[in-house]
A and B are shown apart, each in its own frame.
Chain A
Amino acid sequence: MAGKDLEKSKEAEGFEHEFESGLAVISETKISDPGLAPHRVRMTDKSPKHAKNAERQVAVLFLLSVVGSFFALWAYVAFPITEDLATVRANNLWLGLGMTLSLLGIGIGAVHWAKTLMPDFEVSEARHQTRGSEDVRAAAVEIVKLADQESGFSRRKLIRRTMYGALALFPLPALIVFGDLGPVVGDSLRHTMWKKGTRLTKDPTGIPIKASDVTLGSVFHVIPEGLAEMHEHKLEEKAKAAVLLVRLNQEDLKEDEAKKSWSYDGIVAYSKICTHVGCPVALYEQHTHHLLCPCHQSTFDVTEHCKVVFGPASRSLPQLPITVDAEGYLIAQSDFLEPVGPSFWER
């Protein structure tokens, strides 16, 4: 019956247990092992001259290492760092090359020594079966049994079960103290800094943008008024509030009836935070009116409310409703009407 043959008993010492060989085919007519191949004599074994040469080569390599070490020490001092960036490059290079030589000399020297001068006779060492011998295993079993008897672990159900309960529960307080790693997730993902009347300003200066500044074909990177001057939570707010501002010809925009009022004279504003996993969707292709995210190449069509036309994103970029104030500066009509950025459970 194929697959259930037991192996012939091993002659090597310590391999007393016979394992099942499963689906292995044990051939009766296997070509026999000829034993270790004869040793091939090296030049350095035969000829004292070659051996002496090899010795000198190893010594030279070790000496090169010494040269390298001294060179590195010298380079550290000889190549100081100043305001000029080229000094950094020089220091890095020469210090590094010195250390390279210092290490390489030892390495190649040691290996060359081993290869040419140390004996290269192959030796065979017997393995021992990893599985213990029957005696050892029996003794181990006895010890465990004794421990069980003396402690009464198996017998005393009450102790055992309450122990399990205690051990299962004691790590929990250790886990719960990590609860203060972060605050409770509130509504923060649904709100950004944008409010009714917030001016659109240039990133990073915070200078407000007039509608007349936004010419056909231009793109402005926008932050809400007030962000540039913030000190606390600046990046957290920016990570939700960054916006892209472009102007298209009104006839190129295919707008939903409900969202027609969100644009101003062909100027549209969209969240810059990609709805895939949050990178800034910053590439604007002027003629195709596509926004491309450089991280995973999600592509959004500005003419159709930034719906996804390619790439792994699913949702279109949230649109910021804008208009102008009395002085002609672009302002938001309200916050985004949906959470910006990647999808999440509570969305």
Chain B
Amino acid sequence: MSLRKRINGSRRSPLAAIIVIAAGLLFSGGGFAVATSVVESNIATAYTADQIAEGKKLFLSNCASCHGLNSEGTKAGPSLIGVGAASVDFQVGSGRMPGQGSGPQLPKKTVQFTEEQIGLMAAYVASLAPGPAIPEDQYLEATGDAAHGGELFRINCAMCHNAVGAGGALTEGKYAPVLKGVSAKHVYEAMVTGPQSMPVFNDSNLTPTDKQDIITYLAYMDENESAGGYALASLGPVAEGLFVWIFGLGGIIAITVWLAAKSN
């Protein structure tokens, strides 16, 4: 049988193959493009147009001077396109933003906006481009596996934040902050957005369950006091050494001065 006859005899249109291939390329290529820009599995919150408009107003009066009128970024502040609601919720919610002053790292300050206002600003920034969303409550409860969380924490987080989150130094005056007392939501958001020097821990690296386990571990450390007594800020041998010299040996020397002194 000739080739032509075989093609004519098939039930599918000759274009079908082309369409299938094109669709496949579109989906995989498009999916790939989306994947390389953002890999998050959060369900995007539906924001109303009103919320976005209110958020934009707040943005223009408080953020645009550094982040640009269209959030495109200026010399003073990076672009917010694609950073997602989670970034806003973390940065503004922890008081780091609005950023003031210069220095190697922007510190936490008093929170300047209400929860509602933060939500509106988050809505606006989320509307600019797809980005990490505010995490769902189910991942924020401390009901995960603290042991697994601890293992992940030691591998991914302890080198900057210390094995129990007591904080640590980075170069040139930057630092990884203390994690005690930080809300589960902010911990999650920080992992997912990678604020300042912190790397991004997307959901392929640490799945939402992994992140919940880490939150559970940190919650355990927060709630349970050290079993040996006061922890000396969990700073390790340096604190212990200073303590033994100042209070241990110092106290004993005070006693020896009494011991060797003549009695009245």
A–B interface present (Cβ within 8 A): yes
Shortest Cβ distance from residue B211 to the other chain A in the assembled complex, whole angstroms? 14
A294 touches B226 (CB 8 A): no
Instruction: State which residues 1-56 of B face A: CB under 8 Å.
Output: 32, 35-39
- B201 / chain A contacts, CB cutoff of 8 Å: 218
A85 touches B155 (CB 8 A): no
- A287 / chain B contacts, CB cutoff of 8 Å: 196-197
- A204 / chain B contacts, CB cutoff of 8 Å: 151, 155
A115 touches B197 (CB 8 A): no
Distance of A190 Cα from B35 Cα, bound (Å): 37
| Interface assignment of A93: CB less than 8 Å from any CB of chain B | yes
Beyond A120-B263, A213-B202, A213-B204, whether A89 also contacts B170 by CB under 8 A is no
Looking at chain A's contact residues, the main secondary structure is mixed
Inter-chain CB contacts under 8 Å: number: 98
- A86 / chain B contacts, CB cutoff of 8 Å: 224-225, 227
- A115's nearest neighbour on chain B, judged by CB, is B263
B264 touches A43 (CB 8 A): yes
Distance of A220 Cα from B263 Cα, bound (Å): 68
Interface size bracket, A side? 35 or more
Shortest Cβ distance from residue A179 to the other chain B in the assembled complex, whole angstroms? 35
Looking at chain B's contact residues, the main secondary structure is loop
Shortest Cβ distance from residue A24 to the other chain B in the assembled complex, whole angstroms? 30
Beyond A213-B205, A218-B201, A310-B171, whether A85 also contacts B264 by CB under 8 A is no
| Residue interface mask B156-192, A partner, CB < 8 A = 1 | 1001100000001011101000000000000000000
- A221 / chain B contacts, CB cutoff of 8 Å: 155-156
B264 touches A286 (CB 8 A): no
> What are 6 A-B contacts defined by CB distance under 8 Å?
A89-B225, A115-B261, A204-B155, A217-B199, A218-B194, A285-B197
Q: Which residues of A contact B (CB under 8 A)?
A: 40, 42-44, 85-86, 88-89, 92-93, 111, 115-116, 120, 202-204, 209-210, 212-213, 215-221, 246, 280, 282-288, 290, 292, 294, 297, 299, 310
Q: Which residues of B contact A (CB under 8 A)?
A: 32, 35-39, 151, 155-156, 159-160, 168, 170-172, 174, 194, 196-202, 204-205, 224-229, 259, 261-264
